[in-house]
Chains A and B, each alone.
Chain A
Amino acid sequence: MTATKATVPLKNRRLAALLAWLVPGLGHFYQGRTGKGVLYAVCILGLYFVGMVLGDWQVVLWRWINPLRDAENFRFSYLCQFFVGLPALLALIQETLHYYDIPPILGGFMSVPLNLEQQDAFNSLSSKLAKLPEIGSVYTMMAGLLNILAIYDALEGPAQAEEDQCANGGGAVADLKAEKLDEGKS
């Protein structure tokens, strides 16, 4: 095991990664890396919810359609937004319910427009809010992409932890080596 993995408490790293996907920052809270958990939660969830507000809560949607047959209606943006975890998962649930002709839950929140009236309201969003839905999409997509970095951090630890340790005098690494030497002697 490298010094990076040994000096950063990763606990059960796969569980941490799963938690980090479900709720940004949760995996780091589980690992006891509270400060980083707060930073990830504030930055990623902040971006996601500000993006949702900018897009009038209609920028995170999913459709079960084949992108090769209907690329225009395929929601490429959701492929990024999916990585925000639970906050974006409702769109997938709503569309799956719609796919099996089951009525939507939570009053159809985060479901694709089902009737003509909803479709018109959805189409008029861009003209009503100018560039805001576009910016909202970018914010929510970036939130998802940034959470991939956070998930990887929960899984593997920080990329340059060893350099950090060296810059700090290598204390923790030296302690670890000393512990291993002691174990070897005894």
Chain B
Amino acid sequence: MIFATINPYVFAPPLVVAISLVYAASRHESWPRIWSHAARLSGSILGMLLLAMAVLLLINSQL
């Protein structure tokens, strides 16, 4: 299976984008607001994920 050769982390961004779009669409009816909310939310979630990963890597490297 071709997917088995892909790095599993590649599957995180599409999931984050889908979650952000659906959440934003459930909050607003106007498209500009949906897009901007989804973009902000995607950025926040990815930022938090990266931050958590950096902290965990830092702790791990100190052990």
Contacts and interface: CB of A to CB of B under 8 A. Distances in A.
B15 A139 contact: yes
A159 B3 contact: no
Interface in B18-60: 18-19, 21-23, 25-31, 33-34
Interface stretch (A39-47, A62-70, A177-185): A39-47
A18 interface: no
A26 interface: no
A138 interface: yes
Contacts of B1: 56, 129, 132
Interface string A1-35: 00000011000000000000000000000000101
Interface stretch (A75-83, A113-121, A147-155): A147-155
Given A129-B1, A131-B8, A150-B22, A142 B15 contact: yes
Nearest to B23: A149
23 contacts: A8-B29, A35-B31, A39-B21, A39-B34, A44-B18, A47-B14, A54-B3, A54-B11, A128-B4, A129-B3, A129-B4, A130-B4, A132-B1, A132-B8, A138-B15, A139-B15, A150-B22, A150-B26, A153-B25, A158-B27, A160-B33, A164-B33, A168-B30
Interface of A: 7-8, 33, 35-36, 39-40, 43-44, 46-47, 50, 53-54, 56, 128-132, 135, 138-139, 142, 146, 149-150, 152-153, 157-161, 164, 167-168
Closest 6 CB pairs of A and B: A149-B26, A43-B18, A146-B22, A153-B26, A164-B30, A158-B29
